[in-house]
Amino acid sequence: METTLRGVGVSHGVAIGEVRHMGTAVLEPPAKQIPAEEAEREQARARRAVEAVAADLMARGNLAGGEAQAVLEAQAMMAQDPELIADVERRIAVGSTAERAVYDAFASYRALLAGAGEYLAGRVADLDDVRNRIVARLLGVPMPGVPDSDEPYILIARDLAPADTALLDPTLVLGFVTEEGGPTSHSAILARALGVPAIVALPGAGELSEGTEIAIDGSSGEVFVDPSAEKRAALEADAAARKAALSASSGPGATSDGHTVPLLANIGGPGDVAAAVAAGAEGVGLFRTEFLFLDDSARAPSEEKQTAAYRQVLEAFPQGRVVVRVLDAGADKPLEFLTPADEPNPALGVRGLRSLLDHPDVLRTQLTALARAAEGLPVHLEVMAPMVADRADAKAFADACREAGLHAKFGAMVEIPSAALRARSVLQEVEFLSLGTNDLAQYTFAADRQVGAVSRLQDPWQPALLDLVAMAAEAGRAEGKSCGVCGEAASDPLLACVLTGLGVTSLSMGAASIPYVRTTLAKYTLAQCERAAAAARATESADEARAAAQAVLSGE
């Protein structure tokens, strides 16, 4: 009998197939004491296992490339964390086996993260994966990972670690569903990059029986268990129609009456450029430069290395617009040379622009590298600062850009409610705004973007969030300056129409979402988008806002 479940759709598309569950390693090794004379040998075993796992993660990253590479390299650094290794060796010295010491040391660190308000909950999944890989190697059991199958399937997991998501084979893994995670978790971002339909935050997903046939809709978040023949036919017809429309989609982003809305790509480095170009991106709306800095958390990359990486991206978009976000470190992206180690709540501490203003040499080097990279190129370079709170922040950043001799537009990200509320003030110092809806939702609702339990409050359809977007867009219009969206909200085709109706001037998203947004936007006039936006803002919840916008655009 067909039943319907609902999670959070995070990657477009429809998939129909049988359930396969993610394999796990033996999580808890036995607790037994070893003689003192074996401690040194066990410590050496632990070090070898750590190095092997770190090397494997780095190798997976090299294969995956792009944003996935940076995420996996960050995991490798987590495995090699000196404090964790020291704790493991201390536990072995007092009688633990290597595998038990690893298990207990990681459990202790996990508890510390949870006690810090779970801001790093998204990284807890990464930490668990690293632990399981090291323990599995020490015990000589299979690594956790995707199941072996000769037939395509839909993958079900409690959560997906980056190491698994990055190397999913789309010819076998038709889509995936997780019990945990959120719309801006690593798994969701990587799923969109792969173009694999995905649903997260689905309670009870793990209870779906192996081999059960399900259909998933990565746009609506719906999972149909044992779908009827009619449901299958309807989903397949919808998928075929969508595929045909996408293949016919090309050209600049615009409404049906010719109102232009440039569609840009979010990228993590040169490895993501090919997909952006193939999708018809009109430029880059968010170049996340922090991934370049994750290669070595102890020191910033040299000016030469940065210049080379930036130039690769700039050369790919001659005459196009490339918006670069300067280093956004801190919170869930700590860097040893930059991030305070003892903050009680890193989400509310020294991160983003605050870190850079505390380390002006790091900012100066990056801005100088960007200036060098753009020399002689016709590209329209724009540079923006993350975590701008007020006009003083915006001025400090603009001053730093000018001092570095950077010939580009200077902008500010709107990720903190204060920046949206006082957007006109911020625009007295900079030339454009870019709304980072992921963090803006997090700070507006006090809801960690990595915690599935509060995913309702991370929904970009929340009317309060739409109000802040409207305020920032209106400020841009009043000052004659642009105000784009580079958060994950832009990848939702229906919401893209609403954002356009709110006055947003450009939309930036993962490359795989661009054809969906282009096709949907071209169906409606600007006036229809404006009416849909007004209807959404007049509601009291995200679900009501989505339904109201859909009703307007469908003519109901």
Active site residues: 186, 486
Question: Cβ(10)–Cβ(198) under 8 Å?
Answer: yes
Q: How many CB atoms sit inside 10 A of residue 544's CB? A: 15
Burial (0-12, 13-18, 19+ Cβ within 10 Å), 34:
middle
CA distance 144 to 176: 16
CA distance 173 to 517: 24
CA distance 392 to 382: 20
Q: Give the SS3 label for residue 242.
A: helix
Q: How many CB atoms sit inside 10 A of residue 52's CB? A: 15
CA distance 9 to 397: 36
Which residue shows structure tokens 């390693």?
Answer: 25
DSSP-assigned beta bridge partners for residue 155 = 20, 176
Instruction: With CA atoms as reference, report the closest residue to 93 among 32, 43, 153, 28.
Output: 43
Question: Cβ(445)–Cβ(435) under 8 Å?
Answer: no
CA distance 275 to 80: 32
- In Å, how far are 440, 522, 554 from 305, measured between CA atoms? 31, 41, 50
CA distance 414 to 502: 15
State which H helix or E strand residue 95 sits in. Answer: none
CA distance 210 to 18: 8
State which H helix or E strand residue 173 sits in. Answer: strand 173-178
